[in-house]
Chains A and B, each alone.
Chain A
Amino acid sequence: MLDGEENLIKRAIRGEASAFGSLYDYYQPRIYRFVLIKVGRREEAEDLTHQVFLSAWQNVGGYKQLGFPFSSWLYKIARNQIADFYRGRREEVGLEKIDPQYLIAPASVQFETEEKFEIERVAAALRKLKPEYQDIVVIRFVEDLPVKEAAAILQKSEGAVKLLQYRAIKELRKLLS
């Protein structure tokens, strides 16, 4: 959670662009990763991430702090955007269709060729999982968020989250084997 997040949220609700800008800077990379892993194409991930934050900014006035982290609200918007995206154009993204620049987005990060191939294979397998499993794997194992926060994002109990992550990893291992 971002330092002074509550205050930033309050200011953003009042319409202060600078406060929302700080929230954007902190959460945008996470949302982008979440979207990219799910849709598989950088351009689409960028468009969807932009839509997520645009929607968040336009609706932040109605945001109510109910004790859940702000990220849970952003992830919810992102999940809805992705669902709308797939509803619009249902298309399976095969491994051969993955953007070759997929993991080169951060120029500073360099992977070994073999490692890169492994990561791309895992990412492709991830996209074959059910959306619910994809969400839990990204939130719990990529973003490394605690179970409590994952439960808030997915609107499930902590017990349900633990069960879901177990099933998702089991399914992912099966796909990779």
Chain B
Amino acid sequence: MDLLDLLKKLKSIEPDKEFSLNSRNLILNTPPKVRVSFLGILLKNLELGAALALAGLLIFLTIGGFSAWKFFSPLELANFDATSIRAEAQAIDIQIKLANLNYIESTSTLVGGESTKMAASGPGNGTSPAGGALGGEKNNGNSSSSISIDEVLEKLSQ
């Protein structure tokens, strides 16, 4: 028989089944060695440190650290300043009111002016004492303007 064929026949050699099973069980029941490296230890410590730091921060914030945040934080958190926010809100409110006042004043002045023009171009076509009165009362406030309008309307209806 050829040498290479004889060598190939050696491939039929197999381990004893019982030995294989026992050896397998023994090996797999042995815990694998844990490799200790400097980098591994460093990473593990960093991981532990970071976890502890985050847990501490969470506890601190939960207990009431949010109110103390502005004292410790290097950032200026103006949005959390309640007084400035309140003042700003009040200022906005006042501006709106003033704007409304101006609007009312200007509209009443306009109405007064239009009424005067209408009175002036009335049936008499002359200079009306009411018109003069109206012109004089242009800047005298709302109540006086309203009275003048009433008078003008009365005269027009006659």
Contact = CB atoms under 8 A, between A and B. Distances in A.
A27 B84 CA distance: 77
B28 A21 contact: yes
Contacts of A60: 32
Contacts of B81: none
Interface in B7-59: 7-16, 19-20, 23-24, 26-28, 30, 32-35
A50 B26 contact: yes
Contacts of A49: 15, 23
Contact of A59 (B6, B24, B33): B33
Interface majority SS (helix, strand, loop, mixed), chain A: helix
B68 interface: no
A122 B10 contact: yes
Interface size class on chain A is 35 or more
Interface majority SS (helix, strand, loop, mixed), chain B: helix
Given A54-B27, A142-B7, A142-B8, A61 B15 contact: no
Contacts, number: 97
Given A118-B6, A119-B10, A57 B30 contact: yes
B33 A106 contact: no
A62 interface: yes
Contacts of A36: 13
Interface of B: 1, 3-4, 6-16, 19-20, 23-24, 26-28, 30, 32-35
Given A32-B13, A45-B15, A138-B10, 20 more contacts: A21-B24, A29-B14, A29-B15, A32-B15, A33-B13, A37-B13, A42-B16, A46-B16, A59-B33, A61-B32, A61-B33, A103-B13, A105-B14, A105-B15, A106-B13, A111-B9, A122-B3, A122-B10, A142-B10, A169-B3
